[in-house]
């Protein structure tokens, strides 16, 4: 009890109260931390009045929190170095992750989302040769640099539980670049140069028909930004042939259209696919230019990779 005319004394947290705090780490404190805590205890002896109580509480709480954070692995906690300066404590998970860095060829690694990779690693990233299976079933088999498709590789699309080759050729930083062969779901095929995953440069494309190009329209020539642009020859399934200038997938500029059935040719100027002016003349059926159709071959993954590498080196 207190005298009737004196205010009740407040109880302040003392250093001895730390004994009641639940221990979060059984390891003994480091000598540096022990010195910090001892200095606080010396500076804040037990007892004292109301004026020095709050200051004692703040100093002790700050030192105690620093001591506890440094021994429980709390990320972002502050630490006191030997000179007394504050420094950021290293995050424990980063240390553990560095210890688990993957180097060389490893067994299959699985991701939570369903992806899985088997192949070579460097600096904890996919580097070298390996196969990545995506969560939707698609698969890439080839070369990697820093987790990106880079070099020679084949991308397979999974359709109804079966794999279909979608692209086989060179990659740069995860995009189609250089020389490669592409097949769409209809079996149409493009063989030629790529830039930023778009047809760009010299290439040959089939439209419709069979996978080997029979019964298809076939274009061979220049491409820009995934469209026919520049000089090119289109051989139609009915035997007709157009040879001339293209722009954004349209006949545009000077060109010659050969009619196989009529044994005639039309030399003129086109504007956005429409002939504007020109003249007809008879031709020898043997003079009509032809586009070479691709050979019908079923190749395994190793054969496809070998052929793409050979073609890519030829175009470098």
Burial category of 229 from C-beta neighbours within 10 Å (exposed 0-12, middle 13-18, buried 19 and up): buried
Rounded CA-CA distance 173/134 in Å is 18
Q: DSSP code of 28?
A: P
Residue ranges of E strands in 236-315: 241-247, 250-259, 264-271, 274-282
Phi/psi at 138 (nearest 5 deg)? -65, 160
Tens of pLDDT along the chain (316 residues) come to 555 555 555 555 444 444 444 545 545 555 444 444 443 444 444 444 444 444 444 444 444 444 444 444 433 333 334 444 434 445 666 666 666 677 888 889 999 999 999 999 998 999 999 999 999 999 999 999 999 999 999 999 999 889 999 999 999 999 999 999 999 999 899 999 999 999 999 999 999 987 666 789 999 999 999 999 999 999 999 989 999 999 999 999 999 999 988 889 999 999 999 999 999 998 876 666 666 655 545 445 566 566 666 666 665 5
């Amino acid at each position: 009890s207190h005298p009737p005319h004196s205010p009740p004394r407040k109880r302040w947290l003392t250093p001895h109260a730390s004994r009641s705090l639940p221990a979060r780490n059984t390891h003994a404190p480091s000598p540096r931390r022990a010195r910090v805590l001892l200095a606080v205890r010396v500076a804040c002896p037990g007892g004292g009045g109301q004026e020095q109580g709050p200051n004692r509480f703040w100093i002790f709480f700050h030192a105690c929190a620093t001591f506890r954070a440094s021994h429980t692995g709390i990320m972002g906690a502050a630490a006191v170095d030997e000179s007394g300066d504050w420094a950021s404590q290293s995050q424990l998970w980063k240390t553990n992750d560095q210890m688990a860095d993957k180097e060389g060829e490893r067994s299959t690694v699985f991701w939570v989302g369903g992806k899985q990779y088997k192949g070579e690693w460097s600096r904890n990233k996919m580097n070298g040769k390996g196969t990545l299976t995506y969560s939707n079933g698609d698969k890439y088999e080839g070369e990697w640099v820093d987790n990106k498709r880079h070099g020679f590789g084949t991308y397979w699309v999974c359709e109804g539980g079966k794999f279909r080759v979608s692209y086989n050729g060179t990659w740069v930083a995860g995009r189609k670049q250089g020389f490669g062969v592409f097949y769409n779901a209809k079996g149409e095929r493009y063989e030629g140069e790529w830039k930023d995953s778009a047809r760009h440069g010299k290439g040959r494309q089939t439209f419709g028909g069979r996978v080997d190009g029979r019964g298809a329209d076939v274009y061979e020539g220049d491409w820009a930004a995934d469209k026919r642009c520049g000089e090119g020859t289109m051989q139609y399934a009915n035997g007709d042939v157009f040879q001339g200038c293209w722009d954004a997938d349209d006949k545009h500029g000077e060109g010659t259209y050969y009619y196989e059935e009529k044994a005639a040719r039309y030399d003129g100027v086109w504007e956005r696919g429409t002939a504007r002016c020109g003249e007809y003349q008879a031709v020898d059926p043997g003079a009509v230019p032809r586009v070479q159709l691709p050979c019908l071959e079923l190749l395994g993954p190793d054969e496809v990779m070998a052929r793409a590498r050979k073609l890519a080196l030829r175009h470098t």
